[in-house]
Structure 1
Amino acid sequence: MTFPLAVAQTEITTDPRANGAAVRAAIREAADRGARLVQFSEGALTGYAGPAKEHFRGWSIDWNPVTEELRRVMALAAELRVWVVLGGNHRLSGGHRPHNSLWVIDDRGEMADRYDKRLLSYREITGFYTPGDHVCVFEVDGYRFGCLICIEVNFPELWMEQAALDVDCVLFSTYSEDPIFETIVRGHAATNGLWAAIAVPASCAPAGPSALVGPHGYVLHQARPDGPDVLRADLDRTDPALDTALTRARPWRKKSRTGDVYTPHRVTDPRSTDRTVT
């Protein structure tokens, strides 16, 4: 069974209402094209803190339009019967800095979960955000999805964690213009045997557009590099090109990591124990 996925590459402004309209338009397009889940970039609804969100300074952000637009997105998800993974700043209480999050909205329009970025940059941890403390994995139609955000691409342990949790596809959302991110994602996908969907804003697409990377580490589909787009693709476990990655490499590496497979093959041999012998 294949899974119809969409990755939305939208314009992001400092106005949640404008962002919300762009998000809903992308969801409608994705649903019209048969998608069951639509992924958006980091900050897609609210904008990203700092330079991309000037009114964030002084914690004077108006959360009312954020809440209103989020509820409209949830209502549309229910109407169209699609899952939505949407990036944005999640408000905390008591003057605490917000989380940098991905809201996971199910096809009933309910908040199924939320991923809060755990490993933040120095600038984020000292000036913008509160770090999260949990992994987020959820299942749709027999496929397991996990979430990671931006600089978390640089931490292999987070990607190995996804594989250990039997994730099929990592939804990687970022607001970065660094083209090396795609290269790193491809490496994680290949070494862990999983799909990785990369969602970036339209403004970052010239440096590296949104994409779907296969479990073999190769880019399967890319969005356009010069504007908004909705990438629509299928996750297909029966694709012959992915057979080695999915049915051989990934299971073998999982088995290898336990070490048990090698124990019966080790020997007692002086030429093995003496590492100075020629």
Structure 2
Amino acid sequence: MTRNAKLKRRVRSRCAKTGESYTAALRHFLHTPDTPGFHSFPMAVAQTRFFDDPGDLPALRASGAEMRDLMKKARLEGARLLHFPEGTLCSPNKRIMSSLGRREIGPSDWSRCNWDAFRTEIEAIRALAGQLKLWTVFGAAHRLSEPHRPHNSLYVISDRGDLVTRYDERLLSNTKISFMYSPGKRPVTFEVDGFRFGCSLGMELHYPEVFIDYEQRDVDCVLFSTTGESPQTAFAAEALGHAASNSYWLSFSAHTPQSIVMPSGIADPAGQWAARCPHSEHAVLAMAHITIDPDSPAKPWRRKARSGLYAAFQIDGDPRSDETSLF
């Protein structure tokens, strides 16, 4: 019997009585004194309005103010970390940026971006993160020296207001790689309160290898941010699938237009939504306590299964094992 067998019986009993998912029922017991071995981390995921013109100063200021308002709300609700979408301040529109005009998509003219306004808003966000003692992860274009295109990035700001790392999207869409951004080179992880996080961005949810790699890096949660006015209907299913197949948490952050079919949320290691934002035209957030269960057999078994476990049990030399044999 494991150390947590008693707790697990209580959680399952509550599931039977209330109809809650296992994760939701577990959160009811997390802060009681008889839960040894479990670690809980309160985090929030944001769903923000969509801004797509990086030269629109009033819009950039409104976006920054919206982000800071959500940061305050998240901290009031007890969050240690707040996760925002791709291009939170602004997700530059490929037609607005096209040097050939809006009718034809061409190389992006990044002189149309108000970089001074970006810097001002990011500095205000960084300062507030330090004041609130809130880890803050948000998407923004990261300017490089000429003639290089920017990176499409996730900034990770610590609870001291420091930029601790930056993730640059690696697997870019055709438009992004052809006309807009420079790709990143490497995965990024960081740790908060004993929890390890990985970062992913854009359309990378379509690539299982990104998420398998993070499992091998022993993350507890992947923060995935995306953007756009048109929902990618497969994304919600893929997010749950990556969480379940890799036995970790996955935070999915997108903009309000996408909430029609795929609102922001936090998926648990069983592939269920532990928290989810509503469909809304306004900026909102959702909260969950992510946990580590040291006695869960799921992750160790998946690693063992992927390590060549089955080779010793496979049969060679028996005609009846031939794939074309019926009996």
Residue 237 of structure 1 is aligned with which of 292, 296, 299?
292
CA contact (8 A) 2:153 2:168 kept: yes
Residue of structure 2 in register with 1:4 after alignment: 42
CA contact (8 A) 2:98 2:109 kept: no
The alpha-carbon distance between structure 1 residues 184 and 163, as it changes in their structure 2 partners (threshold 3 A), is: same
CA contact (8 A) 2:97 2:110 kept: no
Amino acid paired to 2:236:
E
Count of matched residue positions in the alignment of Structure 1 and Structure 2: 271
- Which runs of no fewer than 5 residues in structure 1 stay unpaired? none
In the TM superposition, residue 262 of structure 1 has moved relative to its aligned partner by 3.1
Amino acid paired to 1:67:
R
- Which runs of no fewer than 5 residues in structure 2 stay unpaired? 1-38, 54-58, 100-106
CA contact (8 A) 2:212 2:246 kept: yes
Are 1:186 and 2:236 matched, yes or no?
no
In the TM superposition, residue 264 of structure 1 has moved relative to its aligned partner by 4.4
CA contact (8 A) 2:97 2:109 kept: no
TM-score norm. by structure 1 comes to: 0.91
Following TM superposition, the consecutive aligned residue runs of length 4 or more in structure 1 with deviations greater than 4 angstroms are 51-57, 266-269, 272-277
In the TM superposition, residue 49 of structure 1 has moved relative to its aligned partner by 3.8
Distance in 2 between the 1:206 and 1:181 partners? 13
Q: Classify the secondary structure of the residue corresponding to 1:198.
A: strand
Are 1:204 and 2:258 matched, yes or no?
yes
Over the aligned positions, Cα root-mean-square deviation in angstroms equals 2.1
Are 1:40 and 2:78 matched, yes or no?
no
Are 1:252 and 2:301 matched, yes or no?
yes
Residue of structure 1 in register with 2:19 after alignment: none
Residue 70 of structure 1 is aligned with which of 110, 117, 122?
122
How do 1:1-278 residues align onto structure 2 when only pairs under 5 Å count?
1-13=39-51, 14=53, 15-51=59-95, 57-60=108-111, 61-176=113-228, 177-227=231-281, 228-238=283-293, 247-259=296-308, 261-266=309-314, 269-271=317-319, 274-277=322-325, 278=327
Q: Classify the secondary structure of the residue corresponding to 2:296.
A: helix
In the TM superposition, residue 53 of structure 1 has moved relative to its aligned partner by 6.6
The alpha-carbon distance between structure 1 residues 53 and 80, as it changes in their structure 2 partners (threshold 3 A), is: farther
Amino acid paired to 1:23:
M
Instruction: String of CA shifts for 1:180-200, please: whole Å, max 9, x gaps.
Output: 200111111111111111101
Q: Classify the secondary structure of the residue corresponding to 2:130.
A: helix
The alpha-carbon distance between structure 1 residues 21 and 262, as it changes in their structure 2 partners (threshold 3 A), is: same
Distance in 1 between the 2:300 and 2:125 partners? 38
Amino acid paired to 1:63:
W
Distance in 2 between the 1:254 and 1:175 partners? 32
Instruction: String of CA shifts for 1:229-275, please: whole Å, max 9, x gaps.
Output: 1111110235xxxx9xx81222111011111x335444555246644
TM-score norm. by structure 2 comes to: 0.78
